[in-house]
Structure 1
Amino acid sequence: MRLLRMGTLGLAGLLATGTGLAQEKPLPAPHIKAKLICHDCHQKEKPTTAAVPDEACMVCHGDYPAMKALTKDAKPNPHASPHDPIPCTECHRQHKPPVVKCLECHEGKFTFQIK
């Protein structure tokens, strides 16, 4: 049911939001295709911050062990960090370009492409 709520009004609200978040970068295509609205991730009707709890990501993407298993063939596996759990939004930022959090301390040691 959550995925069916988007409709025209939800997309218009996402694109016209006054927070500036959607104006910097709209949602990635898979999230638009899934018909997500702001509330689905931010868990607020009119979010004023970028804060998204990991639990909101896990509804669709699975928990930490599921993500670790999904990316098991990546070398190194970004979801098998010794620093687990790292919040999803540390790397996967939906309204801004993604970042590789690992490189803040381990510069030049990894090459990751965040999806």
Structure 2
Amino acid sequence: MNPRRIAALGVLGLLVAGICAGQERPLVAPHAKAKVICTDCHQKEKPTTAAVPDEACMVCHGDYPAMKALTKDAKPNPHASPHDPILCTECHRQHKPPVVKCLECHEGKFTFKIK
């Protein structure tokens, strides 16, 4: 095998290994701007699952009553669900587009813009 091909395969191997090990995924702009890192939310140095406990969100964003108060002017208030508590990550998903969990059962009844 020629030396260039060996070098190219070596570089490719390192890139693949780095991607698999680091698995960097983009964050939403406010979290990226605040320099949030994986361990801030996942509470593990090298998370292997997408699981994020609500307590991790509450460190920066406050607890359920604080979020309800923050969005009190929204009609309806998305944090004042009669189904409380709904986990933060049910709607706010950092590595995927957000969803409005309410619309799974109440289709067409609400209009929310998730931040």
TM-score with structure 1 length normalisation?
Answer: 0.80
Q: CA deviation at 1:29?
A: 1.1
Q: CA deviation at 1:20?
A: 8.7
Change (3 A) 1:39 1:72: same
Give the Cα separation in 1 of the matches to 2:75 and 2:86: 18
Give the Cα separation in 1 of the matches to 2:78 and 2:90: 12
Partner of 1:84: 84
Partner of 1:68: 68
Q: CA deviation at 1:32?
A: 1.0
Q: Of the two, which has the highest radius of gyration?
A: 2
Change (3 A) 1:46 1:56: same
Percent identical among aligned pairs is 87
> Do 1:21 and 1:95's aligned partners in 2 also have CA atoms closer than 8 Å?
no
> Do 1:103 and 1:109's aligned partners in 2 also have CA atoms closer than 8 Å?
yes
TM-score with structure 2 length normalisation?
Answer: 0.80
Which ranges of structure 1 fall in alignment gaps of 5 or more residues? Answer: 1-15
Across the aligned residues of Structure 1 and Structure 2, the Cα RMSD in angstroms comes to 1.7
Q: CA deviation at 1:18?
A: 3.0
> Do 1:76 and 1:110's aligned partners in 2 also have CA atoms closer than 8 Å?
yes
Give the Cα separation in 2 of the matches to 1:79 and 1:17: 36
Q: Output aligned runs, 1:83-102, within 5 Å.
A: 83-102=83-102
Give the Cα separation in 1 of the matches to 2:19 and 2:73: 38
